[in-house]
A and B are shown apart, each in its own frame.
Chain A
Amino acid sequence: MIDLSVEIAGVTLPNPVLPASGTYEVDQVHDGFFSPAELGAVINKTIFLDPRPGNPPPRIWETPCGMLNAIGIPSEGLRTFLDEQLPKLRKLGPPVIVSIAGNSLQEWEALAAAIDESGSADMIELDLSCPNLEQGFIWAAEGQALSEAVAAAVEVTSLPVISKLSPNVRDIGEMAAVAEAAGTAAVSMVNSYLGMAINIETRAPALGNITGGLTGPAIRPLAVCSVFTAFQKICVPIIGIGGIATWRDAVEFLLAGASAVAVGTQNFVNPMTMREVIQGVAAYVEGNGFSSVRELIGLAHRVPEC
């Protein structure tokens, strides 16, 4: 029997594969694909304190091996989330990660406290790194802002806090260390890369928001590098994200140092992806003589430095 379970900050995930926030809605439309009960964890689309409409269209634009998005996190706000969505997430079975985003330190606090109080979450992920918000401010892009936001959330909850980091920084390993020092129990990396495209027919930016976040296999080598770098600088576990399209990609992230992986853009392309990744990782673990997927984590670091 292959042991696929991994541990993130004291929470046991039955397997290391989960959706990236905002790429997999828990609703009936998915019932024909596979059961979300099969996932390593479930997570909501990031919730803000107040309702938000999201950005004007066009919101997405295809790029080589990837896509730009500037969705702007449409959200029904905390109250509706607690009343309607969170109970549904809780019923699915896997550990529940609630993704939150604040516009101020007070909001980070209020959100983290409310999620803690709900009693329905196993972990809280701080979305510190969406590049598409109206203020254009990325908490995880500045050491002090990152540190203060993480500390504000950690202060008011006993749940493990995951900090979702931005790749739009000089040294993401350093930022991971900042989050760790501020009390984060895990990091997830990477969020999307700031990018843009220009529509040569209209001779205007392709996205309504002008700039967007680049995701998909195009960013995978960059994300693997980020995880590999951060693994050497921090002790808390890493959830690897960035262009995972197949089980091979997931294994690559685990070897780079991720304890779990999140699938994002590929959920749009193939709604069976996460199940296929779970099965493929299990086959890899077994086929290569490992007894647990945990044995893979960070294995690539055994290579002597040159």
Chain B
Amino acid sequence: MAVHPVYRSATVLEVKQVGPEYVDLLLREAEIARTSGPGQFLMIRAWPGVDPILPRPFDIMQCSPREQTLRLFIKVEGRGTALLKSLAPGAQVMVTGPLGRPVVDFAFSAVAFLLRGAGAAAAVHLAQSCRSRGIEVYTILSASTASRIVCRDYLEPLSTETLIATDDGSEGHRGLATGLLDRLLERKAIDRVYTCGSRRFARYVQRLDREGRSSGFVFLEGLMACGMGDCHGCAVRKKGGSGYYLVCRDGPHFPVGEVEL
């Protein structure tokens, strides 16, 4: 039974600044909280009028049907996200969701997440789903520097191991997170890898997938106006063929071998 997205007013419960550039946003909206699956996102618009005009897409990091809440993790980059950051508890925002295809295939026994940037929010939701199915979770978080490590507080309790890599060595392994994944795969029988936030990571996972070391998936982002397949804005080229997938409708998660990176 397909879940249809709905357009609703949601209440802001909590706005928390995380590090220099991220915001953790908690919303109450019962129906979307009840119907969202891992890997799905919503479009949010938190300002009146027509400027900025477009809603913004964000991964659903956590959803609690019981609490009727949705948690988003937002990188503050432009006008829309700055407006989201300035919201106060009690404010009403318009949301459309859940959008995108949820992850429904859990036919694996151990998963590794190779993550950088705000896309890690999608992994939090998915890691929770994996854990509730008895799937072992390994997490590798990559960032330029320690203060930019994201979603660690959410992922660490869900993970058998959490490994950190920073470009400047301010925390954890100094240098490439792909090296950490490589060594992890040598030690553990991990049959699924999800990645986000770095083209280099995605290409690396593509190679792992091709070599049969683990099946790989990538969470993609795209500039989108609607989030539901109407605007055709968020096109990503199909691997080895002509034509495009839409990140919103066909993703946001893709088998890493099916998209041109």
Q: Which residues of A contact B (CB under 8 A)?
A: 22-25, 27-33, 45, 53-62, 64-67, 69, 71, 74, 216-217, 245, 265, 267-272
Interchain nearest-CB distance for B193 vs A (Å): 25
Instruction: Contact check, A71 vs B230: say whether CB atoms are below 8 A apart.
Output: no
A269 and B53 contact, Cβ closer than 8 Å, known pairs A29-B4, A53-B244, A57-B223: yes
Complex contact A54–B53 (CB within 8 A)? no
Chain B residues within an 8 Å CB radius of A25: 229-230
Any A CB within 8 A of the CB of B82: no
A23 pairs with B50, CB closer than 8 A: no
Please determine whether B5 and A62 come into contact, CB atoms closer than 8 angstroms: no
Count of chain A to chain B residue pairs whose CB atoms are closer than 8 Å in the complex: 107
Are B55 and A269 interface neighbours, CB within 8 A? yes
- Contacting pair A69 B53 (CB below 8 A): no
A234 to B6: give the CA distance in the assembly, Å: 42
* Interface membership of B63, Cβ < 8 A: no
Beyond A57-B222, A268-B226, whether A71 also contacts B232 by CB under 8 A is yes
Q: Are B225 and A60 in contact (CB under 8 A)?
A: yes
CA distance A53 to B249 in the complex (A): 16
From DSSP, what is the main secondary structure of chain A's interface residues?
A: loop
Q: Complex: how many Å from CA A56 to CA B197?
A: 21
With A60-B223, A65-B50 as contacts: A272 and B7 at CB distance below 8 Å: yes
| Complex interface: chain A residues within 8 A of B243 (CB) | 53, 74
Answer whether residue B141 sits at the interface, using C-beta atoms and an 8 A cutoff: no
In the complex with contacts A53-B242, A67-B53, A59-B232 CB distance below 8 A: yes
CA distance A114 to B53 in the complex (A): 38
Say yes or no: A271 contacts B236, CB within 8 Å.
Answer: no
Q: Which among B5, B94, B235, B242 has the greatest number of chain A C-beta atoms within 10 A?
A: B235
Known: A29-B228, A271-B7. Is A54-B54 also a contact (CB below 8 A)?
Answer: no
- Interface positions, chain B 1-29, Cβ under 8 Å from A, are 2, 4-7
Report 12 cross-chain contacts, Cβ distance below 8 Å, ordered by A residue: A24-B230, A29-B4, A53-B243, A57-B235, A59-B235, A60-B223, A61-B223, A74-B232, A74-B243, A74-B244, A217-B53, A268-B231
With A and B bound together, what is the CA distance between A62 and B236 in angstroms?
19
B94 / chain A contacts, CB cutoff of 8 Å: 270
Within the assembled complex, what's the spacing in Å between the Cα atoms of A24 and B229? 8
Q: Which residue of A lies closest to B4 (CB)?
A: A32
Closest 9 CB pairs of A and B: A32-B4, A268-B226, A60-B233, A268-B225, A32-B6, A217-B50, A31-B4, A53-B243, A71-B232
